[in-house]
Structure 1
Amino acid sequence: MMKAYIFPGQGAQFPGMGKDLYEQSEQAKDLFEKANEVLGFRITDVMFNGTEDDLKQTNVTQPAIFLHSVILAKVMSDFHPEMVAGHSLGEFSALVAAGALSFEDGLRLVAARANAMQKACDIQPGTMAAVLALDDFTVEDICQQVSDVVVPANYNCPGQLVISGSVAGVDAACEKMLAAGAKRAMKLNVGGAFHSPLMEAARVELEAAIVNTEINEPVCPIYQNIDAKPHTSVDEIKKNLIAQLTGPVRWTQTVEQMLRDGATLFTEVGPGKVLQGLVKKVNKEVPTAAAVLG
């Protein structure tokens, strides 16, 4: 068995997330309390007792998903990854789980990322849309035809690609996608144009934080979003993390590469089951599982 561990991104949050970990494991409880100290507010109160709307606040969402994923990985008795990957925000969870980042530094970077993205959204309003049942080449080609900013942002699985850019750019691209035969081209309820050039202000801000953070060689390769390739070099990991904010999440290509490199089981570590579903759409034969405590 070649074990691949995958870590979810924004959108996986749910009310009550992480409460079971906090109550069942002393180690988890200690880590959650440490997180409250690092962040300067009791994120556990929002995670365990907050509403869906409370959890949608950018400064809560990203650290909450990160904490759920990382703490679960740390308290699992059989967590021995041979390869890891994370979807967008999940890349930071994967780096901590694979020993490249300390828990505290990972959390600080995720909080800095969330704040930088929120500021970039305020500076440059934008949006995203999911395009279903069109091939990647057609989506890429249509994005290039539109004069306003719009780019492929998330290659989630075959036939599901998310585009990102200015409101005018995404609207124009959606019309063209439907005309080209897309089953759907629907705007997403997001606060900005993530993984697009409109995140440049956030990339610059996060670059300074990443450059000044100690990153070690991970215990196994991390397959990074920007190029879907395995990395262990600290310099390459840093460069790819910085590029991630304005570049696409190549999730389809990541899963395909992990399969080519021998992955035989994909275990999703964190809230939700979204990534297991995407893996199955890349290859329905490969086994997937949800990580469990113990």
Structure 2
Amino acid sequence: MTTAIVFPGMGPSRFADAGRFMLLNPYARKRLAVADEVLGYRVTERFRDGGADYSEYAQVAFLVNCLALADRAADRADEEPAACVGPSFGQKAAVAYAGSLSYEDTLRMTVAMARCEEEYFREHHKDVVTHSFTRLPEDRLKEALAELDADGEWYEFSGYLDDGFHLLSLRAGRLDRFKKRISELGGYSMYSMRPPVHAPAFAELRRTVEREVLSGLTVRAPRVPLVADQDGTVLDSAEGVRTMLLDTFDRPVDWRAVVDSLTGLGVTRLLFSGADNLFRRLDRTKRAFDVHSLTPKSAVAARS
């Protein structure tokens, strides 16, 4: 059975869900010791006191936990995964795992990107959210979008996750009406993200990160095949990895393409390393792979 490791996108992250793992698990404590030294603060304390689900500290903690769980899995595995992928925020852990960035630089990059995003969305696109919805077939989706077009409403796709499952960025003022229309058409609204993500309108944020963050980091070719979450491209060069990291700001995620790419590589088993309530549950994922998951809670339950 050929395995790929998946570092999941980040959902709401709270100390109550992961704090015990971070404080007690030896793999997490080792990762945390480095993070504390590199960043100059106690990550667990900032994460505990930070409040916001997507704060800089929550993002660092999520990265630490994903990689610590991968360390734990590696010590128990008979062979290395044949490929890795990190949809959305999971890119950061994936590039560290694949050796394209050192762990230390990945920590610095995570913090710097979080600060760039916070500053950018404080001034730009303040009225935009990214909304996720499912159970909306293509013909009904076109109907909903046609109504937005007819009203002159701006929108851009931020993700293609599964059949009938999309992420769409649009004005917050139109969101309630759009959600109502989704329901009327037989679809189901899930959650809305603010700040928004992965839309072509955010090209200036991409340029800012390229100039202020990635220009100061050494990106290397991955040591294992790394699958880009925007289009499923299998990356084997430093430039490809660098482009993927920038594409995350202004190109939508396409999990459908990722699944196709992994199956093309002969992957039959996915190991999710980190808390995930989305990608491992998608019908497309479950049909194609034998799915396994490691989370802070499961690791604590296993007492290791």
Common fold: TM-score over 0.5: yes
Which TM-score bucket, shorter chain as reference? 0.7 to 0.9
* Cα deviation, residue 176, structure 1: 5.6
TM-score, structure 1 normalization: 0.85
Q: Is the 8 A contact 2:9 2:276 kept in 1?
A: no
Task: Find out whether 1:203 has 2:206 as its counterpart.
Answer: yes
Cα distance in 2 for residues equivalent to 1:205 and 1:132:
32
* Partner residue, 1:7: 7
Q: Tell me: CA distance 1:100–1:94, structure 2 relative to 1, closer, same or farther (3 Å).
A: same
* Partner residue, 2:18: 17
SS of equivalent to 1:259: helix
Q: Deviations over 1:148-178 (max 9, x none)?
A: 3311112222221111133246566556655
Cα distance in 1 for residues equivalent to 2:186 and 2:154:
20
Of 83-92 and 36-45, the range deviating more from structure 2: 36-45
Cα distance in 2 for residues equivalent to 1:220 and 1:194:
27
* Cα deviation, residue 11, structure 1: 0.6
* Partner residue, 1:129: 131
Of 261-270 and 78-87, the range deviating more from structure 2: 78-87
* Cα deviation, residue 210, structure 1: 1.6
Superposed, 1:61-140 pairs within 5 Å as: 61-76=58-73, 77=75, 78=77, 80-123=80-123, 124-125=125-126, 126-135=128-137, 139=141
Q: Tell me: CA distance 1:269–1:186, structure 2 relative to 1, closer, same or farther (3 Å).
A: closer
TM-score, structure 2 normalization: 0.83
Superposed, 1:1-294 pairs within 5 Å as: 1-11=1-11, 13-14=13-14, 15-17=16-18, 19-20=20-21, 22-25=23-26, 27-47=27-47, 50=48, 54-76=51-73, 77=75, 78=77, 80-123=80-123, 124-125=125-126, 126-135=128-137, 139=141, 143=145, 146=149, 147-168=152-173, 170=175, 174=179, 177=182, 181-185=185-189, 188=192, 190-208=193-211, 209-278=213-282, 280-284=283-287, 286-291=289-294
* Cα deviation, residue 250, structure 1: 0.8
Q: Identity across aligned pairs (percent)?
A: 20
SS of equivalent to 2:58: helix
Q: Is the 8 A contact 1:195 1:249 kept in 2?
A: yes
Q: Could you tell me which amino acid in structure 2 is paired with residue 103 of structure 1?
A: Y
* Cα deviation, residue 104, structure 1: 0.8
Cα distance in 1 for residues equivalent to 2:21 and 2:31:
14
Q: CA RMSD in A?
A: 2.7
Q: Could you tell me which amino acid in structure 2 is paired with residue 199 of structure 1?
A: F
Cα distance in 2 for residues equivalent to 1:196 and 1:141:
21
Q: Tell me: CA distance 1:227–1:57, structure 2 relative to 1, closer, same or farther (3 Å).
A: closer
Q: Could you tell me which amino acid in structure 2 is paired with residue 158 of structure 1?
A: D
Gaps of 5+ in 1: none
Q: Could you tell me which amino acid in structure 2 is paired with residue 71 of structure 1?
A: A
